[in-house]
Amino acid sequence: MPEKSPESAMAPQKLLCLPSLLLLLLTRLLPQADTRSFVVDRDHDRFLLDGAPFRYVSGSLHYFRVPRVLWADRLFKMRMSGLNAVQFYVPWNYHEPEPGVYNFNASRDLFAFLKEATLANLLVILRPGPYICAEWEMGGLPAWLLRKPKIRLRTSDPDFLAAADSWFKVLLPKIHPWLYHNGGNIISIQVENEYGSYGACDMSYMRHLAGLFRALLGDKILLFTTDGPEGLKCGSLQGLYTTIDFGPADNMTKIFALLRKYEPRGPLVNSEYYTGWLDYWGQNHSTRSVPAVTKGLENMLKLGASVNMYMFHGGTNFGYWNGADEKGRFLPITTSYDYDAPISEAGDPTPKLFAIRNVISKFQEVPLGPLPPPSPKMMLGPLSLHLDGNLLAFLDFLCPQGPIHSILPMTFEAVNQDHGYMLYRTYLIHTVSEPAQFWVPNNGVHDRAYVMVDGVFQGVLERNMKHNLFLTGKKGAKLDVLLENMGRLSFGSNSSDFKGLLEPPILGQTVLTQWLTFPLKVDNLVKWRFPNQLLKSSHPQTPSGPTFYSTTFPILDSGGDTFLFLPGWTKGQVWINGFNLGRYWTKRGPQQTLYVPRPLLFPRGALNKITLLELENVPLRPQIQFLDRPILNGTVHKTHICSLSAESASEPMELSGH
Q: What residues act catalytically?
A: 194, 272
Q: How far apart are CA 205 and CA 131, in angstroms?
A: 13
Q: How far apart are CA 543 and CA 457, in angstroms?
A: 9
> How far is C-alpha 386 from the geometric centre of its chain's CA atoms?
31
Taking only Cα atoms into account, the Rg of the chain, rounded to an integer number of angstroms, comes to: 26
Residues 6+ apart with CB under 8 A from 11: none
Name residue 550's beta-bridge partners.
Answer: 386, 611
- Contact (CB, 8 A) for 43 and 71: no
Strands (E), 153-303: 186-190, 222-227, 241-246, 269-274
- Taking phi over 0 as left and psi of -120 to 50 as alpha, with beta for the rest, 80 belongs to alpha
- Contact (CB, 8 A) for 544 and 617: yes
Coil/strand/helix, residue 80: helix
- DSSP classification of residue 4: P
Query: Which of 344, 258, 246 is closest to 299 using CA atoms?
Result: 246
Q: How many other CB atoms are there within 10 angstroms of residue 402's CB atom?
A: 10
DSSP H or E stretch at residue 292:
helix 290-302
Question: Around 308, how many Cα atoms within 13 Å sit in the side-chain half-sphere?
Answer: 26
Give 207-237 as a DSSP string: HHHHHHHHHHH-SSSEEEEEE-GGGHHHH--
Measure Cα distances from 548 to 46, 393, 482, 485, 596 in Å. 58, 10, 14, 18, 20
| Angle at 349 (CA atoms; ends 344, 355), nearest 5 degrees | 110
Query: Which residue type sits at 649?
Result: A
Q: How far apart are CA 50 and CA 39, in angstroms?
A: 8
Query: Which of 143, 30, 71, 134 is closest to 499 using CA atoms?
Result: 143
